[in-house]
Structure 1
Amino acid sequence: MLAPQATPVAQPAVAPSPAPVSAPAGLQQWTDAAARLQSQTPGPARTEPAAPESAPRTAPGSQVPWRIEDEKSGSKFAVKVGRGVLWGVVALAAITGIRSWFWAPAPPKPAPTKVDSGPQYPVQEAQAVAARFARSYLTWDETDPQARAGALARDVPRGTDTTTGWNSKGRQSVLVVLPSTVSVVGDKRARVRVDLLVSGPAPADSAPAPADKDKGDNKDDAKKGDSKKDDAKKDAKPAPATRWMGLEVPVVEASGRVVVTGEPGIVGVPNGGPSVPAPTAKSNDMEFSDKTRGVVEEFFSKYATGESGSVAAPGASIPALPSGMTLGTIRNWTVDEGSGTDRVGTVVVSWNVGGAEIEQTYRVKVTRVSSAQAERWQVSEVHGGFTP
């Protein structure tokens, strides 16, 4: 018998496994790296049902340590801003120095203020020109009128007539010239005050009065000898007289020099000065004054003879007085209250000079000088005049 043939059993159809979705080329390398890292990390054994082979093997998303972020995200922008701020701080520290952030530098000293007062008037030149002109202006001699004109021409503009203002009579000379204040009146013009001591004929009112006419013939005969003497006095010229005169000279600065611009004017000289405050009274040390009076007397006795160095303090330099002076007396010597090795006092001295006796006041400083054997006071400075 023929054996029955086996009926073939139908096999279930196996669906083809879906082809894995390929990731982009840029993303695939990061995904593969994540899978390799996860497979190398040991973990607890777990029993899981076998997944069909057709199921794609993908790692859970929570286990992937890498993640792609958009370059335009907020976190990336914040990182870039932070880096920019950090580099800015580093650059600022390099420029200004970190020390200046904690210790404020000292404030700069203010620059001195310069006041532009404009060009200054040449006062000294104006005084020199005015003094020379004043001497020429007040000096004249009727025997040589051209000498005055030539002297005036030095200090006036070219072409100025230097013969005006004088009638070519008389004789006068200038002994002393003292330029004084310069008053600027504007437009480079000024007025200079000059004081002069002039010598010339005595004023008319000081001339001797003429002799009275004798009455009677007998008296005329008796005084024939006296009349001859009177005639000699009339013929004699009066002695020259000296007097101070003030002159104000107008000047102007032109072309780099100062010149006289017009006729000057004679003005008066003050007869006295203004009142001044009363001097302040000073206390005197009478005991010390008596103690050092001999020191001062010894010094002044040598002062006029040029031997003051023999009695002055070491290192003192006191020039000798002019010759012809001799000491009269020490009228008064008082020392101001004080202490120390230097003391200052006032001495009144009378000198014999020129056949007269004159009184002078000095401020004298005495210094204590010590040696191994003795100690004494000696004069170290002398100043003429007393300033209360």
Structure 2
Amino acid sequence: MAQPTVAPAPAPAGLQQWTDAAARLQGQTPGPARTEPAAPEGAPRPAAGSQVPWKIEDEKSGSKFAVKVGRGVLWGVVALAAITGIRSWFWTPAPPKPAPTKVDSGPQYPVQEAQAVAARFARSYLTWDEADPQARAGALARDMPRGAETAAGWNSKGHQEVLVVLPSTVSVLGDKRARVRVDLLVSGPAPTDSAPADKDKDKGDKKDEPKKDDAKKDAKPASATRWMGLEVPVVQASGRVVVTGEPGIVGVPNSGPSVPAPAAKSNDMEFSDKTRGVVEEFFSKYAAGESDSVAAPGASIPALPSGMTLGTIRNWTVDEGSGTDRVGTAVVIWNVGGAEIEQTYRVKLTRVSSAQAERWQVAEVHGGFTP
């Protein structure tokens, strides 16, 4: 029984025009004859003009994957360039500088403790009273090693008192040892003339001299004050500083070293004359404890000690300048303790304005000339 011939499905409308054009082109172009394989009997033959020279195929899944991977790699490179910077791919940055090495120099020498111990020891060492020799020994024992001889260096005679103690420089010698300089103001018998008597003096004249009063023999010698320097050896042991041995009395300089002269400043003489009355009024109130009444608003200037009165303003000059703040130098004569004493001050003036008036007032005052 013959099978019915099934006609091929018509090509889609959009594709039909392309297949027709391909068929016409194939018929116009000569070429080698193609031998079509014989179709088996009974097989349906395609209709004329329905053959397509190419066909549309879907892209393989492997190709799609490769495209996606390529795009991912490209975007990854772009992101890496944005983060690290393209420059870092071609230029190697310089290696970082090594951090400075910290050298542990060990604990610092206890300078303040050494000064305190040396000052206390110096006061005890240069204070003595033959009426109470044990007082000195007990005071020295506080700052000396246990079992040290505290009476050494004094013959248990005389009387001397320390009035002022000023610890000074500490010279570290190593091995936890140091030498401390201490300056002291002491009060004791006034120095006497130790010149030997004239042996050639006529002995007959001595016999004619009246005998001295017994009261004068018992009179105490006059006392005097003087500065003395003492260098005290100390050592740090068992967590504290102690005196290691006998100190040595040294001299105190009679004068200081030479210093460079201060730089000269130009003065505003017109402004100095204009503000002289302001400065005179301030110093008059300054000594009376009423400086707040004439000082600039907000200024805090403590009053001078009682018993001082203003003698005169010997000199007042203001440095060259401009603006609402000016600085000048005042040389003031004070009456204090029955005497006159000259003092130098650096004074800062500030301009105070209101709706009605404008005036200059003292804002700061400092003792001593500082150019």
- List alignment gaps of at least 5 residues for structure 2: none
Question: Counterparts in 2 of 1:76-155, with a 5 A limit?
Answer: 114=102, 116-155=104-143
Which residue, out of 302, 306, 309, partners 1:326? 309
Offset at residue 165 of structure 1 (A): 1.2
Cα distance change on mapping 1:108 and 1:69 into 2, 3 Å: farther
Cα distance change on mapping 1:233 and 1:378 into 2, 3 Å: same
Question: Could you tell me whether the CA contact under 8 Å between 2:19 and 2:51 is conserved in 1?
Answer: no
Offset at residue 79 of structure 1 (A): 11
Offset at residue 205 of structure 1 (A): 1.9
Distance 1:205 1:104 in 2: 88
Question: Could you tell me whether the CA contact under 8 Å between 1:249 and 1:264 is conserved in 2?
Answer: yes
Question: Could you tell me whether the CA contact under 8 Å between 1:214 and 1:220 is conserved in 2?
Answer: no
Which residue, out of 294, 297, 321, partners 2:280? 297
Cα displacement string for residues 304-338 of structure 1 (whole angstroms, at most 9, x for unaligned residues): 11001001101000000000111101100000000
Offset at residue 341 of structure 1 (A): 0.5
Question: Could you tell me whether the CA contact under 8 Å between 2:334 and 2:340 is conserved in 1?
Answer: yes
Offset at residue 70 of structure 1 (A): 23
Cα distance change on mapping 1:281 and 1:61 into 2, 3 Å: farther
Distance 1:219 1:356 in 2: 48
Cα distance change on mapping 1:63 and 1:247 into 2, 3 Å: farther
Offset at residue 38 of structure 1 (A): 18
Q: Give me the TM-score of the superposition, normalised by structure 1.
A: 0.71
Give the equivalent residue in structure 2 for 1:379: 362
Distance 2:104 2:15 in 1: 81
Distance 2:56 2:217 in 1: 141
Distance 1:73 1:127 in 2: 92
Give the equivalent residue in structure 1 for 2:347: 364
Distance 2:28 2:150 in 1: 127
Question: Could you tell me whether the CA contact under 8 Å between 1:211 and 1:230 is conserved in 2?
Answer: no
Question: Could you tell me whether the CA contact under 8 Å between 1:17 and 1:54 is conserved in 2?
Answer: no
Cα distance change on mapping 1:254 and 1:59 into 2, 3 Å: farther
Question: Per the alignment, in what secondary structure is the counterpart of residue 193 of structure 2?
Answer: helix
- Worse overlay, 62-71 or 135-144: 62-71
Cα distance change on mapping 1:379 and 1:58 into 2, 3 Å: same
Distance 2:8 2:297 in 1: 133
Cα distance change on mapping 1:282 and 1:364 into 2, 3 Å: same
Question: Could you tell me whether the CA contact under 8 Å between 2:8 and 2:47 is conserved in 1?
Answer: no
Offset at residue 278 of structure 1 (A): 1.6
Cα distance change on mapping 1:186 and 1:43 into 2, 3 Å: farther
Offset at residue 87 of structure 1 (A): 10
Offset at residue 286 of structure 1 (A): 0.3
Distance 1:114 1:29 in 2: 89
Cα distance change on mapping 1:63 and 1:146 into 2, 3 Å: farther
Cα distance change on mapping 1:32 and 1:310 into 2, 3 Å: same
Question: Could you tell me whether the CA contact under 8 Å between 1:362 and 1:384 is conserved in 2?
Answer: yes
Offset at residue 244 of structure 1 (A): 0.5
Cα displacement string for residues 276-298 of structure 1 (whole angstroms, at most 9, x for unaligned residues): 11221111000000000000000
Cα distance change on mapping 1:40 and 1:84 into 2, 3 Å: farther
Offset at residue 164 of structure 1 (A): 1.1
* Number of residue pairs aligned between Structure 1 and Structure 2: 370
Cα distance change on mapping 1:311 and 1:71 into 2, 3 Å: closer
Question: Could you tell me whether the CA contact under 8 Å between 2:308 and 2:334 is conserved in 1?
Answer: yes
Cα distance change on mapping 1:80 and 1:47 into 2, 3 Å: closer
Cα distance change on mapping 1:367 and 1:14 into 2, 3 Å: closer
Cα distance change on mapping 1:198 and 1:69 into 2, 3 Å: farther
Cα displacement string for residues 202-230 of structure 1 (whole angstroms, at most 9, x for unaligned residues): 11228999999999899969xxxxxx776
Distance 1:111 1:283 in 2: 50
Distance 1:17 1:365 in 2: 113
Cα displacement string for residues 123-181 of structure 1 (whole angstroms, at most 9, x for unaligned residues): 00000000000000111111111111110111111111111111111111100000000
Question: Could you tell me whether the CA contact under 8 Å between 2:5 and 2:44 is conserved in 1?
Answer: no
Identity of aligned residues (%): 91
State yes or no: 1:56 paired with 2:48: no
- List alignment gaps of at least 5 residues for structure 1: 1-8, 222-227
Give the equivalent residue in structure 1 for 2:219: 236
Distance 1:42 1:219 in 2: 178
Who wins on radius of gyration, i.e. which is larger? Answer: 1
- Worse overlay, 288-297 or 157-166: 157-166
Cα displacement string for residues 10-33 of structure 1 (whole angstroms, at most 9, x for unaligned residues): 9999999999xxxx9999999999
Q: Give me the TM-score of the superposition, normalised by structure 2.
A: 0.74
Question: Per the alignment, in what secondary structure is the counterpart of residue 14 of structure 2?
Answer: helix
Offset at residue 117 of structure 1 (A): 3.2
Question: Could you tell me whether the CA contact under 8 Å between 1:18 and 1:54 is conserved in 2?
Answer: no
Cα distance change on mapping 1:14 and 1:336 into 2, 3 Å: closer
Cα distance change on mapping 1:52 and 1:146 into 2, 3 Å: same
Question: Could you tell me whether the CA contact under 8 Å between 2:6 and 2:44 is conserved in 1?
Answer: no
Offset at residue 122 of structure 1 (A): 0.6
Question: Could you tell me whether the CA contact under 8 Å between 2:19 and 2:50 is conserved in 1?
Answer: no
Question: Could you tell me whether the CA contact under 8 Å between 1:172 and 1:200 is conserved in 2?
Answer: yes
Question: Per the alignment, in what secondary structure is the counterpart of residue 10 of structure 1?
Answer: coil
Offset at residue 233 of structure 1 (A): 4.0
Which residue, out of 175, 178, 187, partners 2:166? 178
Which residue, out of 171, 179, 196, partners 1:208? 196
